Amino acid sequence: EVQLVQSGAEVKAPGESLKISCKASGYSFTTYWIGWVRQMPGTGLEWMGIIYPGDSDTRYSPSFQGQVTISADKSISTAYLQWSSLKVSDTAMYFCARRYTTSSGYCFDSWGQGTLVTVSS
């Protein structure tokens, strides 16, 4: 069974750094892209970026380029999303999800449970 288990909720002050994780199991971690999706309070889903753990090839949404860093450690089947200096506006739920290739595109077929990040002074 494919599982993505994310790290727990975080409460941080503005300006602090943060790294959240997404541990994969039940499939070959290095052969599927893992994406990160933001959901701000009361709003919809926004794709942030995606990484291929096999070679760490990473792509970012223009909206998030330079704002976050996505990485992966294939030795422990874990993907990461990190901030160097959090803002209040980073307060949101963050999901990791496995990308599945379809006949004409891509979907996200398995999702982590989400990590709530709260940034407040």
Partner 1 sequence: QSVLTQPPSVSGAPGQRVTISCTGSSSNIGAGYDVHWYQQLPGTAPKLLIYSNNNRPSGVPDRFSGSKSGTSASLAITGLQAEDEADYYCQSYDSSLSASYVFGAGTKVTVL
Binding mask 24-43 for partner 1 (x = CB under 8 A): -----------x-x-----x
Quick count: other Cβ atoms within 10 Å of Cβ 60?
Answer: 18
Among 51, 79, 112, 119, binds partner 1 (CB under 8 A): 112
Q: Which residues are within 8 A (CB) of 102 and not within 5 positions of it... i.e. 6 or more apart?
A: none
Q: How far is CA 46 from the centre of its chain?
A: 11
Per CB under 8 A, 10 contacts partner 1: no
| Candidates 15-23, 73-81, 83-91, 97-105; binding stretch for partner 1 (CB under 8 A) | 97-105
Only one residue has tokens 């959901």, namely 39
Count of residues of this chain found to bind partner 1 when the rule CB under 8 A is applied: 28
Among 29, 32, 80, 108, binds partner 1 (CB under 8 A): 108
Quick count: other Cβ atoms within 10 Å of Cβ 44?
Answer: 8
